[in-house]
Amino acid sequence: MSSISFRGRDLLDVETLSAEDIQHILDAVPSFKEVSERDIKKVPTLRGKTVINLFFEPSTRTRTSFEIAGKRLSADVVNISVATSSVSKGESLRDMADNLAAMQADVLIVRHHVAGVPHFLARSVPQPVINAGDGAHEHPTQALLDVFTLQEKWGSLQDRSALIVGDIASSRVARSNVLAMRKLGMQVCVCGPRTMLPAGLDQLGVESTSDLDEAIQSTDVVMMLRMQRERHKDVLFPSLAEYAERYCLTGERLRRAKEGVVVMHPGPINRGVEIAPEVADGLASVILQQVTNGVAVRMALLYLILGGG
């Protein structure tokens, strides 16, 4: 029996998880996936628990995924988005969190455009906090669902290779995935324009390149990132057309890849910018499986944190 327990713990980042922690979570996921495949997609496990989705940044997929995960476990899920919250009336983050905690919420799920906010809240309130994405820092549940999707396909990830393509420097998805994949024994290479590659990659044991056509030939999985135009205050590349010319995953580019290559994307996708429709909808794509698995991974996390261990 495993000595690892997540009961009452925060899930703030992948960085502080061990490979065993990650595997402990992933091992719990299939049972929850099975619940989602039933006619009656609901179990009474978290009856009477209150889950608060606290989103300071627009999100449809992640917020809905957490909401469905909580509801399938019979928890009460409350969604708070910044536009309707009293933060717009000048209440501080800390006061708001204290109030939610005082209402006996059992777990807070937090997304914020500033890195470190979930960590700050985790220190301020007694309840466990789950990071649903903080600035350009981390998006741990996305990485967990991504490595779960790969394990489901391959079994062990040891010595498999991944290529992550896009704006690496400002991507929390890339950062969390690099950490999770490295911990599980994968080789990781990141690819994008020089202006979008962060410093310090070698400390993580990660290679980098700006040549997608070459790098795609030797990888087992290629993960395309969304071009996050809303995050760019500076001009990092001349135009979207020019970016797409060099970094869009087209059917032609994909044909250079190994047989059986897997295509991932965390969504939402910009068709024709970072990924061509024929690839997003093609046989190599697991994009919708990622979404399905996202619900199951978040169910597993809520279950483990709120009592299951």
Partner 1 sequence: MLDAAGIEQALRRLGREISTRNTPATRLVLIGIRTRGVPLAMRLGALIKSDTGTDVPVGTIDITLYRDDLKARQGRPMQATHIPCLLDARHVVLVDDVLYTGRTVRAAMDALTDFGRPLSVQLAVLVDRGHREFPIQADYVGTILETAHDEQVRVQVSETDGHDDITLMEAARQEA
The binding site for partner 1 (CB under 8 A) comprises 1-5, 7, 27-28, 30-31, 34-35, 38-40, 42-45, 73, 303, 307-309
Name the amino acid, one letter, at 158: Q
**CB distance 18 to 24 below 8 Å:** no
Rank residues 24 and 119 by Cβ distance to partner 1 and give the closer one: 24
**CB distance 162 to 223 below 8 Å:** yes
Rank residues 32 and 55 by Cβ distance to partner 1 and give the closer one: 32
Least distance in Å: CB of 307 to partner 1? Answer: 4
Rank residues 4 and 96 by Cβ distance to partner 1 and give the closer one: 4
Rank residues 2 and 217 by Cβ distance to partner 1 and give the closer one: 2
Rank residues 4 and 93 by Cβ distance to partner 1 and give the closer one: 4
CA separation for the pair 87, 309 (Å, rounded): 34
CA separation for the pair 248, 6 (Å, rounded): 39
Task: Give the strands of the sheet with 187-191, arranged side by side.
Answer: 206-209, 187-191, 161-165, 221-224, 262-264
**CB distance 293 to 269 below 8 Å:** no
Least distance in Å: CB of 34 to partner 1? Answer: 6
Least distance in Å: CB of 303 to partner 1? Answer: 8
Least distance in Å: CB of 69 to partner 1? Answer: 13
Residue closest to 147 by CA, chosen among 266, 274, 273: 266
